Structure 1
Amino acid sequence: MRTVLRSSHSNHWRRMLSPLLNALELKCNSTAYRPVMDAIDLLKRYLDQPIAKEGAFLDEAEKIPLAGGDELRKAVMDERGRVERIPYELCVLVSLRDALRRRKIWAPDPNRWQNPEDDLPPGFEENRDVHYDAIRQPQAPEKCIGAL
Protein backbone atom coordinates (compact mmCIF):
# COMPACT_ATOMS: atom_id res chain seq x y z
CA MET A 1 0.00 0.00 0.00
CA ARG A 2 2.79 2.40 0.92
CA THR A 3 4.61 1.70 -2.34
CA VAL A 4 1.46 2.30 -4.41
CA LEU A 5 0.62 5.56 -2.58
CA ARG A 6 4.19 6.78 -2.82
CA SER A 7 4.35 6.00 -6.52
CA SER A 8 0.99 7.59 -7.30
CA HIS A 9 1.83 10.69 -5.29
CA SER A 10 5.29 11.22 -6.72
CA ASN A 11 4.29 10.49 -10.34
CA HIS A 12 0.85 12.08 -10.58
CA TRP A 13 -0.74 13.84 -7.61
CA ARG A 14 2.31 15.85 -6.58
CA ARG A 15 2.11 17.97 -9.76
CA MET A 16 -1.08 19.58 -8.48
CA LEU A 17 0.13 20.10 -4.93
CA SER A 18 2.03 23.34 -5.56
CA PRO A 19 -0.79 25.13 -7.46
CA LEU A 20 -3.34 23.86 -4.95
CA LEU A 21 -1.47 24.92 -1.81
CA ASN A 22 -0.53 28.26 -3.37
CA ALA A 23 -4.17 28.94 -4.34
CA LEU A 24 -5.60 28.08 -0.93
CA GLU A 25 -5.51 30.56 1.91
CA LEU A 26 -5.73 28.39 5.00
CA LYS A 27 -6.49 29.71 8.48
CA CYS A 28 -6.40 28.11 11.90
CA ASN A 29 -7.86 29.22 15.25
CA SER A 30 -6.60 26.21 17.18
CA THR A 31 -3.13 26.03 18.71
CA ALA A 32 -3.40 22.22 18.64
CA TYR A 33 -3.40 22.32 14.82
CA ARG A 34 -0.61 24.89 14.51
CA PRO A 35 1.92 22.10 13.67
CA VAL A 36 -0.20 21.15 10.63
CA MET A 37 -0.10 24.77 9.45
CA ASP A 38 3.67 24.87 10.04
CA ALA A 39 4.05 21.63 8.07
CA ILE A 40 2.05 23.09 5.18
CA ASP A 41 4.32 26.16 5.16
CA LEU A 42 7.32 23.82 5.09
CA LEU A 43 5.82 21.90 2.16
CA LYS A 44 5.26 25.12 0.24
CA ARG A 45 8.95 26.00 0.58
CA TYR A 46 10.02 22.60 -0.80
CA LEU A 47 7.43 22.01 -3.52
CA ASP A 48 9.35 23.71 -6.31
CA GLN A 49 12.53 21.80 -5.55
CA PRO A 50 12.84 18.63 -7.61
CA ILE A 51 12.95 15.30 -5.84
CA ALA A 52 16.14 13.69 -6.98
CA LYS A 53 18.59 11.54 -5.08
CA GLU A 54 19.90 14.53 -3.09
CA GLY A 55 16.49 16.24 -2.79
CA ALA A 56 14.53 13.28 -1.49
CA PHE A 57 14.91 14.43 2.11
CA LEU A 58 14.02 17.57 4.04
CA ASP A 59 16.96 19.63 5.24
CA GLU A 60 18.03 18.47 8.69
CA ALA A 61 18.49 22.11 9.76
CA GLU A 62 14.74 22.74 9.26
CA LYS A 63 12.35 22.70 12.19
CA ILE A 64 10.17 19.82 10.96
CA PRO A 65 6.80 19.42 12.70
CA LEU A 66 6.44 15.72 13.54
CA ALA A 67 3.60 14.81 15.85
CA GLY A 68 1.94 11.44 15.82
CA GLY A 69 4.21 9.01 17.61
CA ASP A 70 6.46 6.20 16.52
CA GLU A 71 4.27 4.99 13.64
CA LEU A 72 4.54 8.36 11.92
CA ARG A 73 8.28 8.51 12.49
CA LYS A 74 8.69 5.04 10.98
CA ALA A 75 6.65 6.11 7.97
CA VAL A 76 8.59 9.28 7.19
CA MET A 77 12.14 8.70 8.49
CA ASP A 78 14.85 6.54 7.06
CA GLU A 79 17.32 4.50 9.10
CA ARG A 80 19.66 7.51 9.48
CA GLY A 81 16.90 9.73 10.93
CA ARG A 82 16.36 11.84 7.81
CA VAL A 83 12.79 12.85 6.91
CA GLU A 84 11.78 11.66 3.44
CA ARG A 85 9.81 14.25 1.50
CA ILE A 86 7.20 12.12 -0.25
CA PRO A 87 5.97 10.17 2.81
CA TYR A 88 6.07 13.40 4.83
CA GLU A 89 3.95 15.19 2.22
CA LEU A 90 1.42 12.37 2.29
CA CYS A 91 1.21 12.47 6.11
CA VAL A 92 0.77 16.26 6.07
CA LEU A 93 -2.01 15.96 3.48
CA VAL A 94 -3.80 13.35 5.61
CA SER A 95 -3.49 15.65 8.64
CA LEU A 96 -4.79 18.57 6.59
CA ARG A 97 -7.78 16.52 5.43
CA ASP A 98 -8.60 15.56 9.01
CA ALA A 99 -8.25 19.16 10.21
CA LEU A 100 -10.51 20.41 7.41
CA ARG A 101 -13.13 17.82 8.28
CA ARG A 102 -13.00 18.89 11.94
CA ARG A 103 -13.04 22.53 10.85
CA LYS A 104 -9.90 23.25 12.86
CA ILE A 105 -8.27 24.53 9.68
CA TRP A 106 -10.47 26.51 7.34
CA ALA A 107 -10.46 28.63 4.21
CA PRO A 108 -12.00 32.12 4.35
CA ASP A 109 -13.97 32.05 1.07
CA PRO A 110 -15.93 28.81 0.62
CA ASN A 111 -19.04 28.30 2.73
CA ARG A 112 -18.32 24.70 3.65
CA TRP A 113 -14.75 25.28 4.81
CA GLN A 114 -15.17 28.73 6.36
CA ASN A 115 -14.33 29.81 9.89
CA PRO A 116 -16.53 27.79 12.27
CA GLU A 117 -16.80 30.84 14.54
CA ASP A 118 -18.88 32.48 11.77
CA ASP A 119 -21.52 29.74 12.09
CA LEU A 120 -22.57 30.95 15.53
CA PRO A 121 -25.47 33.39 15.73
CA PRO A 122 -24.62 36.99 16.60
CA GLY A 123 -24.32 37.51 20.36
CA PHE A 124 -24.01 33.78 21.01
CA GLU A 125 -21.94 34.12 24.17
CA GLU A 126 -24.31 36.67 25.71
CA ASN A 127 -27.38 34.54 24.85
CA ARG A 128 -25.90 31.08 25.28
CA ASP A 129 -28.75 29.86 27.51
CA VAL A 130 -31.39 30.96 24.96
CA HIS A 131 -29.63 29.13 22.13
CA TYR A 132 -29.14 25.93 24.14
CA ASP A 133 -32.81 26.01 25.18
CA ALA A 134 -33.83 26.40 21.52
CA ILE A 135 -32.03 23.19 20.56
CA ARG A 136 -33.06 21.46 23.81
CA GLN A 137 -29.52 20.64 24.86
CA PRO A 138 -27.88 21.02 28.28
CA GLN A 139 -24.96 23.43 28.59
CA ALA A 140 -23.01 21.09 30.87
CA PRO A 141 -21.02 18.59 28.78
CA GLU A 142 -21.38 15.93 31.49
CA LYS A 143 -25.19 15.95 31.11
CA CYS A 144 -24.94 15.77 27.33
CA ILE A 145 -22.46 12.88 27.45
CA GLY A 146 -24.46 11.12 30.15
CA ALA A 147 -27.55 11.22 27.95
CA LEU A 148 -25.65 9.45 25.19
Structure 2
Amino acid sequence: MVLIGCNSTNTKEIPNEVIVIVELIKNKEKSREELKEFTKLYSDYVKNTEPNTLGWTYHDAGDKIILIERYKDEDANIVTAKNISPGGNRYKLLQESLNYHSLKEVTVIGGFTQKLIDYNKMTAEKVGFTVPYNYYPLISGYSKNLR
Protein backbone atom coordinates (compact mmCIF):
# COMPACT_ATOMS: atom_id res chain seq x y z
CA MET A 1 0.00 0.00 0.00
CA VAL A 2 2.80 2.41 0.71
CA LEU A 3 4.12 1.96 -2.84
CA ILE A 4 0.73 2.63 -4.34
CA GLY A 5 0.38 5.76 -2.24
CA CYS A 6 3.84 6.99 -3.24
CA ASN A 7 3.31 6.34 -6.94
CA SER A 8 -0.20 7.68 -6.99
CA THR A 9 -0.45 11.12 -8.52
CA ASN A 10 -3.56 13.17 -8.63
CA THR A 11 -3.53 14.16 -12.31
CA LYS A 12 -6.16 14.83 -14.87
CA GLU A 13 -5.49 13.88 -18.49
CA ILE A 14 -6.56 16.37 -21.14
CA PRO A 15 -6.72 14.27 -24.33
CA ASN A 16 -8.06 17.01 -26.62
CA GLU A 17 -6.18 20.04 -25.30
CA VAL A 18 -5.87 22.93 -27.74
CA ILE A 19 -3.00 25.39 -27.39
CA VAL A 20 -3.04 28.73 -29.16
CA ILE A 21 0.19 30.70 -29.53
CA VAL A 22 -0.46 34.33 -30.40
CA GLU A 23 2.35 36.58 -31.54
CA LEU A 24 1.69 40.21 -30.63
CA ILE A 25 3.69 43.34 -31.44
CA LYS A 26 4.10 45.72 -28.50
CA ASN A 27 2.87 49.28 -28.74
CA LYS A 28 6.14 51.15 -28.10
CA GLU A 29 4.23 54.03 -26.51
CA LYS A 30 3.19 51.78 -23.61
CA SER A 31 5.56 51.25 -20.71
CA ARG A 32 6.54 47.83 -19.46
CA GLU A 33 4.41 48.47 -16.37
CA GLU A 34 1.37 49.48 -18.44
CA LEU A 35 1.71 46.30 -20.53
CA LYS A 36 2.06 44.18 -17.42
CA GLU A 37 -0.95 45.80 -15.75
CA PHE A 38 -3.20 45.42 -18.80
CA THR A 39 -2.20 41.84 -19.60
CA LYS A 40 -2.86 40.87 -15.98
CA LEU A 41 -6.29 42.49 -16.16
CA TYR A 42 -7.03 40.63 -19.40
CA SER A 43 -5.83 37.23 -18.17
CA ASP A 44 -7.75 37.64 -14.90
CA TYR A 45 -10.89 38.41 -16.89
CA VAL A 46 -10.47 35.23 -18.94
CA LYS A 47 -9.76 33.20 -15.79
CA ASN A 48 -12.98 34.41 -14.19
CA THR A 49 -15.25 34.02 -17.22
CA GLU A 50 -14.03 30.94 -19.10
CA PRO A 51 -13.82 27.89 -16.81
CA ASN A 52 -12.50 25.54 -19.53
CA THR A 53 -9.57 27.79 -20.35
CA LEU A 54 -6.65 26.02 -18.65
CA GLY A 55 -4.04 28.75 -18.97
CA TRP A 56 -3.51 32.25 -20.31
CA THR A 57 0.05 33.56 -20.08
CA TYR A 58 1.90 36.48 -21.66
CA HIS A 59 5.65 36.28 -22.31
CA ASP A 60 8.12 39.08 -23.08
CA ALA A 61 9.89 38.54 -26.41
CA GLY A 62 11.69 41.84 -27.00
CA ASP A 63 9.51 43.95 -29.31
CA LYS A 64 6.86 41.25 -29.17
CA ILE A 65 4.65 39.52 -26.65
CA ILE A 66 3.90 35.82 -26.93
CA LEU A 67 0.48 34.88 -25.57
CA ILE A 68 -0.09 31.21 -24.81
CA GLU A 69 -3.71 30.14 -24.42
CA ARG A 70 -4.53 26.61 -23.21
CA TYR A 71 -7.97 25.08 -23.61
CA LYS A 72 -9.58 21.87 -22.40
CA ASP A 73 -10.75 21.22 -25.97
CA GLU A 74 -11.81 22.99 -29.15
CA ASP A 75 -15.22 23.84 -27.68
CA ALA A 76 -13.49 25.84 -24.94
CA ASN A 77 -11.53 27.69 -27.64
CA ILE A 78 -14.80 28.38 -29.47
CA VAL A 79 -16.15 30.01 -26.28
CA THR A 80 -13.23 32.44 -26.48
CA ALA A 81 -14.00 33.12 -30.14
CA LYS A 82 -17.63 33.86 -29.24
CA ASN A 83 -16.56 36.11 -26.37
CA ILE A 84 -14.26 38.28 -28.54
CA SER A 85 -16.84 38.63 -31.32
CA PRO A 86 -19.07 41.72 -31.55
CA GLY A 87 -21.65 41.41 -28.78
CA GLY A 88 -19.47 38.99 -26.81
CA ASN A 89 -18.58 39.65 -23.17
CA ARG A 90 -14.91 40.30 -24.06
CA TYR A 91 -15.31 42.24 -27.31
CA LYS A 92 -14.71 45.67 -25.73
CA LEU A 93 -11.70 44.38 -23.80
CA LEU A 94 -10.27 42.92 -27.02
CA GLN A 95 -10.68 46.29 -28.72
CA GLU A 96 -8.94 47.99 -25.78
CA SER A 97 -6.08 45.48 -26.01
CA LEU A 98 -5.28 46.79 -29.49
CA ASN A 99 -4.04 49.99 -27.78
CA TYR A 100 -1.34 47.87 -26.11
CA HIS A 101 -0.34 45.54 -28.92
CA SER A 102 -1.22 44.48 -32.44
CA LEU A 103 -1.75 40.98 -33.72
CA LYS A 104 0.96 39.44 -35.91
CA GLU A 105 0.23 35.71 -36.14
CA VAL A 106 -1.82 32.92 -34.55
CA THR A 107 -0.74 29.28 -34.28
CA VAL A 108 -3.16 26.59 -33.12
CA ILE A 109 -1.87 23.17 -32.03
CA GLY A 110 -3.48 20.12 -30.47
CA GLY A 111 -6.77 18.26 -30.53
CA PHE A 112 -8.91 20.31 -32.88
CA THR A 113 -11.00 19.57 -35.96
CA GLN A 114 -12.21 21.49 -38.99
CA LYS A 115 -14.97 22.84 -36.73
CA LEU A 116 -12.46 25.06 -34.89
CA ILE A 117 -10.69 26.11 -38.09
CA ASP A 118 -14.01 27.21 -39.60
CA TYR A 119 -15.10 28.99 -36.41
CA ASN A 120 -11.79 30.85 -36.14
CA LYS A 121 -12.04 31.95 -39.77
CA MET A 122 -15.54 33.30 -39.20
CA THR A 123 -14.46 35.07 -35.98
CA ALA A 124 -11.39 36.61 -37.63
CA GLU A 125 -13.64 38.09 -40.30
CA LYS A 126 -16.05 39.46 -37.68
CA VAL A 127 -13.33 41.21 -35.66
CA GLY A 128 -11.21 42.26 -38.64
CA PHE A 129 -8.16 40.05 -38.09
CA THR A 130 -6.23 39.52 -41.33
CA VAL A 131 -3.12 37.86 -39.91
CA PRO A 132 -2.03 34.31 -40.73
CA TYR A 133 -3.53 31.43 -38.75
CA ASN A 134 -1.45 28.25 -38.73
CA TYR A 135 -2.89 24.89 -37.67
CA TYR A 136 -0.89 21.86 -36.51
CA PRO A 137 -3.05 18.90 -35.41
CA LEU A 138 -2.00 16.46 -32.73
CA ILE A 139 -0.31 13.26 -33.92
CA SER A 140 0.20 11.66 -30.52
CA GLY A 141 1.23 12.42 -26.96
CA TYR A 142 -0.45 13.50 -23.76
CA SER A 143 -1.31 16.53 -21.72
CA LYS A 144 -2.25 16.58 -18.06
CA ASN A 145 -2.93 18.96 -15.24
CA LEU A 146 -1.80 18.22 -11.73
CA ARG A 147 -4.71 18.36 -9.33
What TM bracket, shorter-length normalisation?
under 0.3
Relative to its length, the structure with more strand (as a share) is: 2
Report the structure number with the largest CA radius of gyration: 1
Which structure is higher in RCO with an 8 Å CA cutoff and minimum separation 6? 2
Give 1 or 2: higher helix fraction: 1
